[in-house]
Amino acid sequence: MAEHRDSHAHENEKKLIIASFILTVLTIAAFGLFLMPGRGVGYAPAQPIPFSHALHAGKRKIQCLYCHSNADKSPKSNVPAVAVCMNCHRVVKVDSPHIQKLTEAYNNNMPIQWTKVHVLPDYVYFNHQRHIQRGVSCETCHGNVADMERVEQVSPFTMGWCVNCHRLPENQAPLNCNTCHR
């Protein structure tokens, strides 16, 4: 009985080794494609309302922090609440169908679901507040948004890309793993 179980277990182990080998190769290949450096550059998804940064930040010269008001107050920057849009759009361009959509959302107390452009993994804790207080401009990472009709990812947002900047002696930035990973 014991012998039988041994040989059975042996068989299983052999199968297991082969299975895990194939699994490993395929998984590495899959993840390699999935996480290839620079994969997200050029990502410019359509948004529920075709908000133009080129118009607001470029032509009208509205400061980034007017809408993204928490970027210097919190690790997380924010996409403005609908109420912030309504500050101006109560009176500005009320005839536009997009603004009407916005007004409708506001009046119905329905939030707008924007599509996230700059995605970091859950185990990365980037801190907007620290970078802005250090004088890093928004454009350094997000590119010249003031020229973008639709926001596009211009930097790879990979660890190597982050660390390249942190490594520069003049930046005096921390290089501890815990700075970003907890």
What does the binding site for other proteins look like in residue numbers (CB under 8 A)? Answer: 8-9, 12-13, 15-16, 18-19, 22-23, 26-27, 29-31, 33-34, 43, 45, 70, 73-76, 78-84, 105-106, 109-116, 119, 121-123, 125, 127, 129-130, 133, 174, 176-179, 181-182
Residue 82 C-beta: closest distance to other proteins, Å:
5
- In sequence order, the 6+-apart residues with CB closer than 8 A to the CB of 129 are 71, 72, 73, 74, 75
In whole angstroms, give the CA distance from residue 80 to residue 95: 22
Residue 99 or 105 with smaller CB distance to other proteins:
105
CA dihedral 15, 19, 22, 23 (to 10 degrees): -160
In whole angstroms, give the CA distance from residue 181 to residue 101: 40
Residue 24 C-beta: closest distance to other proteins, Å:
9
Residue 9 or 59 with smaller CB distance to other proteins:
9
Residue 19 C-beta: closest distance to other proteins, Å:
5
In whole angstroms, give the CA distance from residue 3 to residue 114: 62
